[in-house]
Amino acid sequence: MSHPLVVRVGPLMPFLEEALVRDHAAPSLADVGDHTEGLTVAVAGGGTLVGAAEMDALPDLAAVANFGVGYDNVDVEEARRRGIVVSNTPDVLTDAVADLSVALVLDVLRQVSAADRFVRRGEWGAGGRYPLTREVRGSVIGILGLGRIGRAVAQRLEPFGATIAYHSRSPKDVPWDYHTSPLALAAASDVMVVLTPGGASTRHLVDAEVIDALGPEGLLVNVARGSVVDEDALVTALEEGRIAGAGLDVFADEPHVPPALLGRDDVVLLPHVGSATVQTREAMARLVLDNVAAFLARGELVTPVA
């Protein structure tokens, strides 16, 4: 057998790992030791860092195929400097992430998870009455980041009777109200849904000032990256009643969740499962494999990062 050309960097879902081993005899980076010659394509999971150190360890690296629509785990600027191309897995996870985003919007407004805990604690059986909640109809849902997923979320929420507003780097050709900054969007929103990319350019885009602009009745949903929200500021705002609640699928230091959030009924906590359906993860894996095959065959990626 010829020397492998593909290397696995970090843990991958079994379907993808098995296919890479079967079709490309791809070893893991941890197992190759100093025998890195000829390894030209690295496949990485969304939580695995591919930075200068990993690139140094793979001197023949020419492409990184990243499993995930987000690619803030890859130092793209360093890759470009070295002539290394990078791909991600867009489009195939749009529906799954949009569905989960809508589920969190519904949950924070109608307090489904909190009401479930109320029943399980025996409070309803003991004669307690759960407080009234709020409807989606008539609520202003602000979408922070109107990319593919943002549009899909807006399109799902409109039939519920929500009013859609958004902020992106530039206005889009859509019928929804555009706001010129995250601060302005927060001030106009009952619920703000964070759907921007991660990375240095969006770090703490949702800071204490933006959180305060949502107000004591405002709600925050984050299905983007934990780094986009100032987590300490969010915790403080919740503790002080300056925001009504939050639905969070992502955190600043995953899998660690701030202890202060764990006992709160006004926060829905999920373990970063936005795209975690069988259908979507298999589609993402197939797109990674398509990128690997295309690069090996003709030196091009199917979904290169712009």
Q: What's the Cα-to-Cα distance from 204 to each of 10, 77, 210, 223, 227, rounded to whole Å?
A: 27, 20, 10, 14, 6
Q: What is the pLDDT of residues 80-120, one digit of tens each?
A: 999 999 999 999 999 999 999 999 999 999 999 999 999 99
Which of 18, 135, 254, 300 is flagged as catalytic? 254
Q: How far apart are CA 108 and CA 140, in angstroms?
A: 14
In this structure, the number of other CB atoms found within 10 A of the CB of residue 40 comes to 18
Q: Tell me the per-residue pLDDT of 156-213, one tens digit each, with 9 for 90 and over.
A: 999 999 999 999 999 999 999 999 999 999 999 999 999 999 989 999 999 999 999 9
Q: What is the pTM of this model?
A: 0.91
Please give the pLDDT value at position 3. Answer: 82
For the stretch 272-293, pLDDT in tens is 999 999 999 999 999 999 999 9
303 assigned to some structural domain:
no
Task: Report yes or no on 229 lying in a domain.
Answer: yes
Same domain? For 142 and 13 the reply is no
pLDDT tens digits for 28-71?
999 998 889 999 999 999 779 999 999 999 999 999 999 999 89
From the list 24, 179, 225, 281, the catalytic residue is 225
Range of the domain at 78: 6-91+278-298
List of long-range contacts for 75-84, beta carbons under 8 Å, 24+ apart: 75/50, 75/51, 76/305, 78/51, 78/52, 79/50, 79/55, 82/55, 84/55
* Same domain membership, residue 239 and residue 114: yes
Residue 129 to residue 156: CA distance in whole angstroms = 31
Please indicate whether residue 156 is annotated as part of the active site.
no
Whether 35 is catalytic is no
Do residues 118 and 257 both lie within one domain? yes
Known catalytic residue: 239?
Answer: no
* pLDDT band at 1; cut points 50, 70, 90: very low
Q: CATH code at 172?
A: 3.40.50.720
Task: Please name which of 186, 274, 277 lies closest in space to residue 226, comparing C-alpha atoms.
Answer: 274
Number of domains in the chain: 2
215 shares a domain with 291: no
Q: Does residue 306 sit within a domain?
A: no
- Assess whether 37 and 136 both reside in one domain: no
Residue 266 confidence (pLDDT): 98
Q: Which three-class secondary structure state does DSSP give residue 45?
A: strand
